[in-house]
Amino acid sequence: MNKPSQPTTRMAMGLSLLSLLLLCVGLMAGSQGLEWPVQWQDSIVQDIRLPRTLGAWLAGALLGLAGALAQGLFRNPLADPYLLGSASGATLGVTVALMLGLWGGLQLPAEASMAAQWAWRLGLTGCAFVGAWLAVLMTLLLAKGVQHTLRLLLAGVVVGVVLGAITSLMLVLRPQIYPAMQSFTLGSTAMLSGASCSLMALSLLLCWLLAWRLSPLLDGLSLGESTAQSLGLRVAPLRFILLGVMALATATAVAQTGLIAFVGLVAPHLVRARVRTTFARSSLLAALMGGVLLCGADILARLLLAPQELPVGVLTGVLGGGYLLWRLQSPTKRAEDAA
């Protein structure tokens, strides 16, 4: 196994230190701005700020990892975790759960027991995961497998549009769930708890271990599908597994924070712009970068208009879109860097 290069090691250490710094700043970010000194024993810090800041980092890491998987699988730097309709499927799953009254909103009472919080989070994540997987399966059926990348991408767009239309129709039929769904579609970290952080941490660990174990496929695919097959890699079944990993990471993040734009797309770009390494290492860097991006955006969303709060999904959309527009200012050079 090759030793990590110095740029890779430096970037990993820098992102880790930046993550710790953002965690500390997140504990100080309150409704009146930054507060110092922090009352560590305060229930607001322990029960609200800590799980919210840590949960934002974990959700961003899941999206960053899913984005790296999507761009590696499709060999397309513009691929993102929502490409196969998984986000629309997860949103539809949550909408069905709320419409049927399985969960009476996107927030549990403060006095709910830990067991009730775990059951609620697992149920909500389960509905999002089932919806995401059904969307992915529909995409695969329409594309007739994973052999044709262009057909797979087009099928994902179609499935996403159709499922989004079904979700909108359900909201028209049950307008009382619209306020809860509005928070979900705009993206929010305000409802994160210790249970949701534990769930995302377990999902992140599982997804990264599987991605690391299957990273030789993505390294082979970067040289072309025929080259990967000549190396003895079973491309089709391994692609299915990696699509499942991508769906799990995306569904878990979406179920806890709603729809967060651009993090999964931008995080791998920022990594590739600075280091070139194997997928096993770049996926870890993309996860760290995604955590830093969403955690930083969450802190900004809390502080910019304090005591009023911005939806973090809107802020990541503005910042991510601005970053991509900046990249387009010099198309030749930056496109080559991103490829």
Q: Which helix (H) or strand (E) holds 40?
A: none
Q: Residue 138's domain spans which residues?
A: 6-338
Count: domains in the chain: 1
Give the residue with greater pLDDT, 318 vs 110. 318
pLDDT value, residue 14: 94
Residue with tokens 């509905």: 127
Residue 1 lies in a domain: no
pLDDT value, residue 225: 62
pLDDT tier at 106, thresholds 50, 70, 90? very low
pLDDT tier at 68, thresholds 50, 70, 90? very high
**Is residue 295 a contact partner of residue 23, using CB atoms and an 8 Å limit?**
yes
Q: What pLDDT, in 10s, does the model give residues 6-35?
A: 888 899 999 999 999 999 998 888 777 777
Residue 152 lies in a domain: yes
pTM of this structure: 0.85
The yes-or-no verdict on residue 292 having pLDDT over 70 is yes
Q: What tokens were used for 218? A: 């993505």
Helix boundaries (H) for the chain: 6-28, 43-44, 50-74, 86-99, 114-143, 149-173, 178-186, 194-213, 215-221, 225-230, 235-257, 263-272, 279-303, 312-327, 331-338
Residue 65 lies in a domain: yes
Residue 182 lies in a domain: yes
* CB < 8 Å & 24+ apart, contacts of 150-155: 152/74, 152/84, 153/74, 153/76, 153/79, 153/83, 155/84
pLDDT tier at 299, thresholds 50, 70, 90? very high
Q: What tokens were used for 68? A: 């790296």
Q: What pLDDT, in 10s, does the model give residues 116-148?
A: 555 555 666 678 778 888 888 888 888 876 666
Q: Which domain CATH number covers 101?
A: 1.10.3470.10
pLDDT tier at 60, thresholds 50, 70, 90? very high
Give the residue with greater pLDDT, 250 vs 112. 250
Of 2-6, 131-135, 160-164, 312-316, the poorest mean pLDDT is in: 2-6
CA distances from 260 to 54, 185, 254, 295 (A): 16, 8, 7, 12
pLDDT value, residue 124: 66
Give the residue with greater pLDDT, 336 vs 94. 94
pLDDT over 90 percentage in the chain: 22
Q: Which of 10-24, 29-43, 295-309, 316-330 has the highest mean pLDDT?
A: 10-24
Residue 214 is classified by DSSP as: T
pLDDT value, residue 1: 47
Residue 33 is classified by DSSP as: E
The yes-or-no verdict on residue 45 having pLDDT over 80 is no
Residue 120 lies in a domain: yes
Q: Which amino acid is at 145?
A: G
Q: Mean pLDDT of all residues in the chain?
A: 80
**Is residue 294 a contact partner of residue 260, using CB atoms and an 8 Å limit?**
yes
Q: What tokens were used for 260? A: 């967060």
